[in-house]
Chain A
Amino acid sequence: MKRLLYLTLVSALALAVVSCGRRGGETIRIGVVGPMTGDGAQYGEMIRMGASMMMDAVNEAGGIDGKMVELVFEDDKGEPKDAALVAQKLASDTTIVAVVGHFNSSCSKAGKPIYKQMKVIQLSPGSTNRDVCIGSDWTFRNVYRDDFQGYAIADYIKEKLGYTRVAVLYDNDDYGRGLKEFFTEKAEQLGLEIVREEAYNRDTQNFGPQLTNIRKEDPEIIFISGLYTQGAMIMTQARNLGMETQFIGGDGLMSADLIKNGGDAVEGAYITCPFIPEMAGEMGRKFVEDFTEKYGEPPDAWAALTFDAVGIIIETIKEVGCDRQAIRDHVASMTTKEKGYDGVSGLTIFDENGDCIKPMFVAIVEGGEFLPAQIQFN
């Protein structure tokens, strides 16, 4: 009896190990990982909704060759140490054919060596740190890089807004520090004066000391190189200190919670981002409509980019099947306009690193909404 049980268990395990070529009616499993709880939970929620929407669309249309797509969601809490753990979990599960994630640059980097070793593709919908894709053939991303973004923000402040004195507040992690460094590099070239530079940690709540130091220098604009949670607090506390200074930030500030938590204090802030509903093409507008109807709130950039990232994986599986190596090779071959993926966030083409070039937009917070700013990049 015991032996029988043992045999059953072993054969069940053996079956589980055989990947998506399993018997008909089985599902194709794709890992989706991001900060589902913790500080970046709002990003995680958008990632979950964007991914689910693509899955539902594919499954309603009959799946891939009759097989349904199943997303396996994991939570890295936005912390590298948790990211390494869930990366190990996803990568060791051979029924999972590809991973979309992580979101935070530090997390993508923490997962990178694990995905590389276990040979499974990692496609990040939101990690913008320059070095995310370097050093692994298995890591790709569906978003622009911070060197591009940092240069652009400096350029926008100096050339488009015409300011000359800027202060910088940055999150002391891979994303915040990286973006700030590229910004500084370009600012120096352009003759944009950085009057004060202040750092903070992710668990900082009190920005009084930094803001008081910045207030003394009286900058025309303050650049926040960090995430929306701290962004909302910084702007609120600046108003409490009687500061009227203009704010600008990168894609990390792009979240509905920035407005929810920051209220009036975030009005008028500029934010660079890879997707604005109003500026999306035909397909993008349809996506925004469907999404809003389905979830009762409009998608943000991360929902759109995740929707496309899952789309890229699904398109690839349709072409080459469920082999992990084949999936990677196919994504890596998407290097030309013809082979690229045309999604709601525009055309995605990868370069030899696994990076991709995407257009950048500037949003402004007005009346509690992200609207396209008057002046855009050409």
Chain B
Amino acid sequence: MEGADLFQQLVNGLTLGVVYALIAVGYTMVYGIIELINFAHGEIYMMAAFVACKLYNALGVPFMWAVALAILFAAFLGVVIEFVAYRPLRGSPRLVALISAIGVSLFLQNLAMIIWGARRQPMIETANAIPFLERTVTVSLPLIGEATFSSVQIIMLVTAAAIMIGLTMMIRYTKVGRAMRACAEDRVAAKLMGVSVNRTISATFAIGSAMGGVAGILVGLYYNQVYPMMGYMAGLKAFTAAVIGGIGNVAGAFMGGILLGVVEGLCGAYISSLWMDALAFAILILVLIYRPQGLLGERIPRST
């Protein structure tokens, strides 16, 4: 195992990890507030990538606008899903909402196949190529070695870091953030204190989904590929990351995502790439057995 290589492998793993982290945050925020695994989250990630791709390639919308609109679309889609599929079921057994979530997930996958076809498509067609995104930089660090970054990779890492910081600040210091924490802790008490629970839940879905949308667009750019089933595996992995970090815990989701990405990257590099998925889910099983509350989660006796 050479140093130079290890550095590159870590960079690859980290890139994958921040994507898992961004998706995992959406899972974990929603879980924190209404204790529902939103299985349609992976599909929001896919839809956002498709919307950005189509706005840019087919309609000729400038790239930054296409991205911004796609993120707004993701937020909107999240809110609509909550309104249509989860809100009417609030208060019913948890399993019912979970089945509803799986239904929404299948619906969106098939909807995407009907609208855009089942084929994999380039996120950015050759004719509309953006030269900046194709650049690569080789970074050489003494003692550590060198690694090649593509500009998309750098954008991914920077965006993820910015979102991570922004989100933490928002949850800690803003009114919406306080309302979210209040609802997560005790929905009834929050309501009694004058917090609009419905609006807070909608806000949570909007923010979580927007983040999923950002992840979808970044992954679409990174692999230059979008397809209707892209949300399935990514969603499962991100869910795993959220559980590893401690579901309901935003910092945990980030940590879980990055950990999972790096472990997968190193497994692919030094064990076998065929074992990457198996290893990711094996970690999930181990965490569930030995630390069910997750790495950063706390074991709190639930009142409800």
Q: Which residues of A contact B (CB under 8 A)?
A: 37-39, 41-42, 172, 198-201, 203-206, 208-210, 212-213, 216, 229, 232-233, 236-237, 239-242, 257, 260-261, 263-264, 368
Contacts and interface: CB of A to CB of B under 8 A. Distances in A.
A261 B12 contact: no
25 contacts: A172-B274, A198-B273, A199-B273, A199-B274, A200-B273, A200-B274, A201-B274, A204-B273, A205-B219, A205-B225, A206-B12, A206-B265, A209-B266, A209-B268, A210-B269, A212-B8, A213-B269, A216-B2, A233-B223, A233-B225, A237-B223, A239-B134, A239-B136, A240-B152, A242-B148
Interface of B: 2, 4-5, 8-9, 12-13, 15-16, 113, 117-122, 125-126, 129, 134, 136, 138, 148, 150, 152-153, 219, 223-225, 229-230, 233, 264-269, 272-274, 276-277
A372 to B, nearest CB: 22
Contacts of A242: 136, 138, 148
B12 A209 contact: yes
B119 A203 contact: no
Q: Is the interface of A mostly helix, strand, loop or mixed?
A: helix
Given A199-B274, A242-B138, A206 B16 contact: yes
A27 B135 CA distance: 58
The 3 closest A-B pairs by CB, nearest first: A209-B268, A208-B12, A263-B126
A240 B150 contact: yes
Contact of B12 (A212, A263, A368): A212
B77 to A, nearest CB: 23
A42 B223 contact: no
Contacts, number: 106
Given A199-B273, A233-B223, A233-B225, A240 B136 contact: yes
A213 B265 contact: no
Contacts of A208: 8-9, 12-13, 15-16, 265, 268
A242 B11 CA distance: 14
Contact of B126 (A38, A206, A264): A264
Contacts of A209: 9, 12-13, 265-269, 273, 276
B10 to A, nearest CB: 10
Interface centre among A212, A216, A239, A257 (most CB of B within 10 A): A212
Nearest to A212: B8
Contacts of B274: 172, 199-201
A42 B273 contact: no
Nearest to B16: A206
A210 B275 CA distance: 12
Contact of B5 (A38, A41, A212, A257): A212
B273 A37 contact: no
Contacts of A241: 8, 136, 148, 150
A233 B123 CA distance: 12
Contacts of A240: 136, 148, 150, 152-153
Given A203-B277, A260-B125, A264-B129, 12 more contacts: A201-B277, A205-B223, A205-B230, A206-B16, A208-B12, A208-B265, A209-B273, A212-B9, A216-B5, A233-B223, A263-B125, A264-B126
A105 to B, nearest CB: 19
Contacts of B268: 206, 208-210
Contacts of B4: 216
A123 B295 CA distance: 55
A257 B119 contact: yes
Contacts of B276: 204, 209
A203 B280 CA distance: 14
Nearest to A36: B118
Nearest to A259: B126
Given A209-B269, A212-B269, A241-B148, A261 B8 contact: no
Given A201-B274, A236-B223, A261 B121 contact: yes
Contacts of A263: 122, 125-126, 129, 224
Nearest to A263: B126
Nearest to B7: A212
A236 B265 contact: no
Nearest to B271: A209
Nearest to A241: B148
Interface centre among B224, B230, B233 (most CB of A within 10 A): B224
B110 to A, nearest CB: 10
Contacts of A257: 119-120
Contacts of B122: 260-261, 263
Contacts of B8: 208, 212, 241
B118 A368 contact: no
A241 B138 CA distance: 9
A203 B118 CA distance: 14
A261 B265 contact: no
Contacts of B148: 240-242
A260 B117 CA distance: 15
Contacts of A41: 117-119
A201 to B, nearest CB: 6
Contacts of B136: 239-242
A229 B224 CA distance: 11
Nearest to B272: A199
Contacts of B219: 205
Contacts of B113: 37
Contacts of A39: 120
A345 B269 CA distance: 42
Contacts of A237: 223
B233 to A, nearest CB: 6
A264 B224 CA distance: 12
B269 A42 contact: no
A368 B268 CA distance: 32
